[in-house]
Amino acid sequence: MELSVDNILALFSVVVLALALVLVLVRLPQLRAAWPEFMQYRHLLGELVKRDVTVKYRRSVLGVLWSVLQPLFIMLIVTFVFSYVFRIDVVDYPVFYITGNFVFGYVSEATNLSLGAILGSGNLIRKVFIPKYLFVLEKCLFALVNTLFSLIAVAIVLVVQQAALYPTFPLLVVPLLYAAVFALGLGLLLSALVVFFRDVAHIYGIWLTAWFYLTPVLYPLSILPPLAQSLIRLNPLVHYVEYARDVMMYGLVPGWQANLICLGMAVAMLLLGILVFCKTQDKFVLYL
């Protein structure tokens, strides 16, 4: 087998998924015990998501419509700059951009909101017992709601561009689910770290900017030299963006290796986030 980056990532994913399966089997009694607790607070989780949606769109003239218009306005600007100024040769560039940004934008918003999930709930955490991970999960779900609103913008661009609508379009939910698992893991990690080191919020803001340009949202990966392509493929979001474009723009169903890599990298981040969060959550109250 050729030792390419994707093959290495596939092997890594197999190891991660095997490790995750072992951990689930070992921790099965604890997981069973935790399920009733989650069900007890599921209504609170829904209310928190509803509250954030209400607060975001309260006193807004455009309301939910802004979640549709904003990506459209940005798409128009980006398309003008990269199609007509820099002349990047991509067929249906508006669809190319908005599909990639659909995935990256979700991860960006979910992790940014998760940064302050624990810090922003300090008063509540000090007064009553609530599973602390719920605050991070709520931010990721709230970001998912916003992203689903922006899916309307994607549909509008497809219609205006008269792009082909492939039967694989519903599969767009698959890379979004992979990205959601990845974002939850990263959100758990960041929300725990920022409690002890406030500078994490500033550092992550800088990293997000760099991450955006290291993900082929604005440009096709093919314009980069082979070495740069190999290095950038270590970025999990590259695979989620490529998956989304395959099902949206090209009518392709990604194979087992692409799904394995996407799932493996998402689960790896989720395991890391859970590990750090669980090891540190008992000390949160001392730093809030």
Q: What is the pLDDT of residues 184-232, one digit of tens each?
A: 999 999 999 999 999 999 999 999 999 999 999 988 898 889 899 999 9
First CA to last CA across the chain, in angstroms? 51
Look at residues 195, 20, 204 and name the one whose alpha carbon lies nearest to residue 108: 204
pLDDT of residue 200: 93
Residue 20 belongs to some domain of the structure = no
Residue 245 belongs to some domain of the structure = yes
Which 8-state DSSP code applies to residue 162?
A: T
pLDDT of residue 79: 78
Residue 95 belongs to some domain of the structure = yes
Contact 156, 68 (CB under 8 A): yes
pLDDT in tens, 113-126: 999 899 888 888 88
pLDDT in tens, 153-188: 888 888 887 777 889 988 999 999 999 999 999 999
Radius of gyration from C-alpha coordinates of the chain? 20
Residue 60, classed as helix, strand or coil, is coil
> Six-digit token pair at 269?
């981040």
Residue 93 belongs to some domain of the structure = yes
Residue 53 belongs to some domain of the structure = no
pLDDT in tens, 11-47: 999 999 999 999 988 888 888 888 888 888 888 889 9
Residue 38 belongs to some domain of the structure = no
Residue 42 belongs to some domain of the structure = no
Give the domain extent around 229.
63-287
Q: What is the tally of structural domains in the chain?
A: 1
Q: Residue 121, Cβ neighbours under 10 Å: how many?
A: 20
Give the separation between CA 284 and CA 276, rounded to whole angstroms.
Answer: 12
pLDDT in tens, 56-85: 777 665 666 766 777 778 777 887 777 666
Look at residues 110, 91, 99 and name the one whose alpha carbon lies nearest to residue 215: 99
Residue 51 belongs to some domain of the structure = no
